[in-house]
Chain A
Amino acid sequence: MAPPEPGPHPATARGPRDRCSTGIEALDNILEGGIPRGSTVLVAGSVGTGKTTLSLEFLLHGAERGERSLFLSVTEPAAKLVENMRSFEFFREELLGTGMLTLVDIPVVYERLGLDHEEMRPDEIRIFLATLDAFLTESRARRVVLDSLTSLAYRIQREERIRDFMLRLSEILTAHGCTTLLVSEIGPQPGRYSLRGVEEAIVDGVLLLGNARRHGDILRVLQVIKMRGTPHSRAQYVVEMTPIGLLLAPHFQGESGPEE
């Protein structure tokens, strides 16, 4: 496995305001053009809030624009993800064959590396990260999604090890010039965006997906909690999943504000 080249990657050396368009027009507008390139962003939310869909759109948009994109799937088999991507009108099968879009089943990687302990030991974490580093070198990916960080963190368990893992992961991704979405599964209660709470302190940004109630109806909502390197709105937006991608509208507050 070849180590990453020393020094900042060209993609990150172009300045902090260079943007990585998510492909979701309204989100790009909120972020004044997109995610600052080279950032590592947590996409947090409870089940069914659209985390994977948003992440897939981000990758497909990148691949369409000629940026190599890598999906590291811990929870769902790659074949199922491909099926999900077909629901997007802009999905093209050839993106998979040409290496512009690569899907990796992480459980298969665990198996090949012999990482079969329920809790990963420090040496196993190092092996896993080195393998990830090699994937990035080989794939020359500029966009990465890890779905989900939570499932991975369950195998690390100890808070200090998660912190070390996150720091090293962040270093590797930055060295490769990747703009990365780390999917984080959280409960519906507010106030925390990851399994241990240390993850959100290390990442550059947090996108929160959730549900808002209005008189018994449930609206999918998105909020940018933090994004280093760009001013942004912290307002909630209602999300609609459509075959042309995610669409966002302001969340109307009415007289008393939304029920949460």
Chain B
Amino acid sequence: MVTESDLGERLRRMPPGSAVALRLDPARYADHYLLAINATVRDVGIETNARSIYVSVTNPSALVWSIAQTLDVPPERLRIVDAISHIMMDYRNPLPNATYLESPRMLENIMLRVEYLLRKEPGQRHIVVIDSVNSLAIHNPTKLLNEFLHILLNNLKARQVLTVLLAVRDDSSPAIDQLLALVVDETIDLGEGVAPP
């Protein structure tokens, strides 16, 4: 079981280039979602002076951004790659710090948008958050997803970027579990008893 106070600390202690899976409890999804954003974008982002690149496949960037604002995340520290608003036909008010993809099936373009954002700020520390493996799995066949995560995470590892993959426990499948076991260095299970920030 992981408490709110030590999640950020655990992520901050991860060696550069690590990949971590954060397993969220579906019964406490809202709390855990908030906790995950708080620990990654705010705790790791601000306290290690890193920029966050948040790949949003589950929720539109507008929601992610409103949560980040609630958590007092400075706008210049967060970039969102939004792969869901377009297919939800919810693209009327684009955010200046978000970049929009037509579909979560354009996995190569997700990778290239992350690459672009990393190249825009060379020499800057970064944390990349993938939200989430389950949502990606809804839109993509497992083998394609395997290829994507394998190549993306290897690239990020080579660049010493900390990557956090959100995954929803119980919503998972053996294929996703196998995939996560292959690509991440550590899995953190957000159990009961975790309070929202």
Contacts and interface: CB of A to CB of B under 8 A. Distances in A.
Interface of A: 214-217, 219, 238, 240, 242, 244, 247-255
Contact of A253 (B105, B116, B147): B147
B116 A252 contact: no
Nearest to B155: A249
Contact of B109 (A219, A244, A250): A219
A222 to B, nearest CB: 12
Contact of A244 (B107, B116, B144, B147): B116
Contacts of B102: 217
B144 A249 contact: no
Contact of A249 (B111, B119, B143): B111
B139 to A, nearest CB: 8
A253 B108 CA distance: 11
Nearest to A251: B108
Contacts of B105: 214-215, 217
A254 B112 contact: no
Contacts of B103: 216-217
Contacts of B116: 240, 242, 244, 247
Contacts of A238: 108-109, 112
Contact of B108 (A219, A242, A244, A255): A219
Contacts, number: 54
B97 to A, nearest CB: 15
A64 B61 CA distance: 37
Interface string B102-126: 1101111101110110011000000
Contact of A240 (B109, B140, B143, B148): B109
Contact of A252 (B107, B113, B115): B107
Given A215-B105, A217-B106, A238-B108, A254 B143 contact: yes
A238 B108 CA distance: 7
13 contacts: A217-B103, A219-B106, A238-B108, A240-B108, A244-B120, A247-B119, A248-B112, A252-B107, A252-B108, A253-B144, A253-B147, A255-B141, A255-B144
B131 to A, nearest CB: 20
Given A240-B112, A244-B120, A249-B112, A254 B106 contact: no
B144 A252 contact: yes
A204 to B, nearest CB: 28
Interface in B75-134: 102-103, 105-109, 111-113, 115-116, 119-120
Interface centre among B107, B143, B147 (most CB of A within 10 A): B107
B181 interface: no
B27 interface: no
Given A217-B103, A249-B115, 12 more contacts: A214-B105, A214-B106, A219-B106, A219-B108, A238-B109, A247-B119, A249-B151, A252-B107, A253-B144, A253-B147, A254-B140, A254-B143
A252 B145 CA distance: 9
